[in-house]
Amino acid sequence: MLKKSIGLTAAALALGVIGLIGNGCSSTSTSSGPSDSGPAGDTGPKKDSGPSGGDSGPAAPACYSDVGVSIPWGPATLHQNVCSDADIQSYFDLCLTAPEAGVDGGGLCDDFILSHVGCASCIIGPLKVPDAGTASGTTPAPVTYDGSSYTFLNIAACLGAISGADATCQSSFANAQDCAELDCEGCVAGDDANGTQTTACINYDLNSGACATSYPVDSTCATTVNGVADADAQSKCGISSSGTFEDGFKGIAHAFCGAP
């Protein structure tokens, strides 16, 4: 289950976003299936080049594992107006910090999800919400449970949505990073405070690993998304200068699911 004191691991991704990962203990309460998440950021996007998708690069880090992830999500839809700010706070309190936190964790979290299906379907994706009805499984969510221990925030999809990039670029940019986070989840637990090991793994995956092949991002796409101004990333995607997971979650959840 996720702990109340969620740890943060910063990873400088090759595509140019600072990633923040919510850290918890292993639990069977996390949802299985494909990831619909991406990294969150405590600063604006970095304007470096995208992955080559095919260079030889360094050897794969020992903690890297190609999990064969398949991500069906397309471009993000922002401000769906299905969650109030109070709903977003309640989801954080009940599903990310409560003792039974996590999808299928039981108790108050499940009660909230079942009584707020529309909001919960937006926050964690309809594939993980009972009775989600006809909500599209191809619409990315701002937060999801990946693997067994970590929750990721989907800042990459929001940056794509506000960048002016086309749909193919938006999807590839965000999904490549989702893919790399899953492949590099095994690096996080033993990493240092700067996320050195995780960063190396993600950069390897985005440039030379399985995710570079599955979700190639050309230099034009990377330049477009990385061109989002820091101020826009903060005001439109909720990227918080505080760097806390809670602030990052509330900001990105409002960007995706709150009112305009």
What mean pLDDT value characterizes the chain? 74
Coil, strand, or helix at residue 75? coil
Q: Are 156 and 17 in contact (CB under 8 A)?
A: yes
The size of the chain, in residues, is 260
Q: Are 6 and 24 in contact (CB under 8 A)?
A: yes
Task: State yes or no: pLDDT of 2 exceeds 50.
Answer: no
CA 140 – CA 123 distance, rounded (Å): 9
| Domain residue spans of the chain | 7-257
The pLDDT value recorded for residue 259 is 96
The pLDDT value recorded for residue 33 is 28
Higher pLDDT, 42 or 202: 202
Query: Which of 49-63, 130-144, 212-226 is least confident?
Result: 49-63
**Nearest residue to 1 via CA among 145, 99, 107:** 99
CA 136 – CA 15 distance, rounded (Å): 27
**Nearest residue to 250 via CA among 4, 40, 103, 10:** 40
Tell me the per-residue pLDDT of 6-51, one tens digit each, with 9 for 90 and over: 222 222 222 333 334 443 322 222 222 233 333 333 333 333 333 4
**Nearest residue to 208 via CA among 80, 6, 70, 51:** 51
**Nearest residue to 221 via CA among 168, 184, 147:** 168
Question: In sequence order, what are the residues at sequence separation of 6 or more whose Cβ sits closer than 8 angstroms to the Cβ of residue 115?
Answer: none
Query: Which of 10-19, 56-65, 66-75, 160-169 is least confident?
Result: 10-19
The pLDDT value recorded for residue 77 is 92
H/E element holding 87?
A: helix 85-91
Task: State yes or no: pLDDT of 191 exceeds 70.
Answer: yes
Higher pLDDT, 152 or 49: 152
H/E element holding 20?
A: strand 18-23
